[in-house]
Structure 1
Amino acid sequence: MISRLFGYFEEGVLNLLITLMTLLVFTEVVARFFFSTGFLWIQELTLTLCGWFVLFGMSYGVKVGAHIGVDAFVKTLPPKAKKITSLVTALICIAYCVLFLKGSWDYLSQMYQIGVPMEDIHFPQFFLKALDPDFAWETLKIDVDDGAVPIWLSQSILLIGFSMLTWRFVELFIAILRNQTTGLTFANEAKESMHLIDDSAQQTPETNKNDGEAK
């Protein structure tokens, strides 16, 4: 139940992020081509949202099997050897995530202590006026006089994304132990490409027939 609700939450956040990026890019294109102007904050915000989309979507990619991998050798192994290999693979992935979590924590801690702000993204004035200046700086590292969003806040997705990815690999490790799955699921680009070719081949005769009838 919790996993299902979390899955809905992931999909909702990813849909929201891609929608916001689309709207921001569309706004920037209209401003540049029709009004000969632009917004620096839109560019920085779009890049930030793109980073959030990628890092937030890593764990979802593990869930739905969207990542690319090479499993030709593993498929040839007997069931027991395949299970052991999958468990070792999951452990390596967990260790990889832990290393990135440690690095992300160190990086964000330094950004928080220094109070480095973003260049072009600022909080709205009504939000800044509602903050106590001492609390804003000592706790959130927000300078109410400048109003720029602190980097530690905008890049906190590093901790969020790798925490979620770690949880997915731990979940996968447990599932392999319980024989609920055989291992990581990868995207099969070759198979998807063949499906596209077959669909195209099936549509072509029908299209030609319709064109002939139209003539």
Structure 2
Amino acid sequence: MASHEREETGLSRIISEIEETAIALILGLMTIITFINVVLRYGFNTGLIWGLEMVTFLFAWLVLFGMSYAVKVTAHLGVDAVINLFSDGPRRVLAVLAGVICVIYAGLLFKGAWDYWAPFAGLDATSGRFFPTGFENSRDQAWYEVIDIPIPDWLRFIEPIMNEGEAYEKLPRFLPYAMLPFGAALLLLRFVQALIKVVQGRQKSLIVSHEAEDAIDDVKHMNAER
């Protein structure tokens, strides 16, 4: 991963730090909450009522952060048995084509994620079936809450802004759901960066990771050390 780190500068490095830090924190929080719940359940016959829902949200956040980070480090699996039959020229054209398709897919995913999240945040969804053509009014659902997670007191400043001054009993949904458009935006950014690298010749393929070959190389390296 050091080669990727050397290539990063400025904004890209900041985004990488956000991804890596978030992934580490989410994994840590999931482990801590699950461990505490196990101890409380089997040791004291009680538990954190909101624990399962919190871990579920954290796992979803982990997936959304992880999919963009995996594009950055080319860790996604890919089947290239057919692509390898071509010479470097056609192979590069296919890689560019795959990159364009992935960028379009990520753009559609971002639009869908925004349109799903926006009503929960009291914002307007985009118009247009596939590509955004503007914004259109959507039903304000900012008063929607999660099922079990209570809202901490330090977040009650959002009540006059999002809930017309009425108190939230549980965490408003727009907060955990905000990861949907944010994660989709990160994925779109990473696909655009990968496509640029392929076009410039700095990367031969988009997201291919040869997991089996890497495992074999690791075994050979271990045997060589013996």
Superposed, which structure 2 residues align to 1:66-145 within 5 Å?
66-112=75-121, 113-114=140-141, 115-128=143-156, 131=157, 133-138=159-164, 143-144=166-167
The corresponding residue for 1:53 is: 62
Match of 1:162 in 2: 184
The yes-or-no answer on 1:150 pairing with 2:172 is yes
In the alignment, the residues of structure 2 paired with residue 155 and residue 133 of structure 1 have an alpha-carbon distance, to the nearest angstrom, of 17
- Give the superposition deviation at 1:199: 6.8
Q: Secondary structure at the match of 2:50?
A: helix
Q: Which amino acid aligns with 1:124?
A: P
Structure 2 CA distance for aligned equivalents of residues 201 and 164 of structure 1: 39
Q: Secondary structure at the match of 1:52?
A: helix
Deviation at 1:189, TM superposition (A): 2.3
Select which of 31, 34, 38 maps to 1:29. Answer: 38
Partner Cα separation in structure 2 for residue 102 and residue 37 of structure 1: 42
| Equivalent-residue separation in structure 1 for 2:44 and 2:52 (angstroms) | 17
Query: What is residue 211 of structure 1 aligned with on the other side?
Result: none
Give the paired residue count.
Answer: 198
Q: In structure 2, how many angstroms separate the alpha carbons of the residues matched to 1:195 and 1:158?
A: 37
Instruction: Tell me, yes or no, if structure 1 residue 179 matches structure 2 residue 201.
Output: yes
Give the alignment's Cα RMSD to 1 decimal: 2.2
Q: Cα distance 1:151–1:132, how it changes in 2: closer, same or farther (>3 A)?
A: closer
| Conserved 8 A contact 2:198-2:206 | no
Is the partner of 1:120 in helix, strand or coil? strand
Question: Is the CA contact 2:53–2:149 (under 8 Å) kept in the aligned structure 1?
Answer: yes
CA positional deviation for 1:187? 2.5
1:26-47 Cα offsets, whole Å, 9 max, x none, are 1111111111111121111111
Q: In 2, distance between residues paired with 1:40 and 1:102?
A: 34
What residue identity is the alignment partner of 2:163?
W
Amino acid at match of 1:156: A
Give the Cα separation in 2 of the matches to 1:132 and 1:174. 40
Mapping for residues 5-24 of structure 1, pairs under 5 Å? 5-24=14-33
| TM-superposed deviation, 1:57 | 1.3
**2-structure distance, mates of 1:134, 1:6:** 32
Q: Percent identity?
A: 30
CA-CA distance at 1:186 after TM superposition: 2.3
CA separation of 1:183 and 1:126: change in aligned 2, threshold 3 A:
closer
Q: Distance in 1 between matches of 2:160 and 2:48?
A: 31
> Matches of 1:132 and 1:119 in 2, distance apart?
19
Q: 2: distance between equivalents of 1:6 and 1:86?
A: 24
Equivalent position SS for 2:148: strand
Q: Which has the higher helix share?
A: 1
Cα distance in 2, alignment partners of residues 202 and 17 from structure 1: 36
User: With structure 2 as the length reference, what TM-score do the two structures score?
Assistant: 0.79
Letter in 2 for 1:174: I
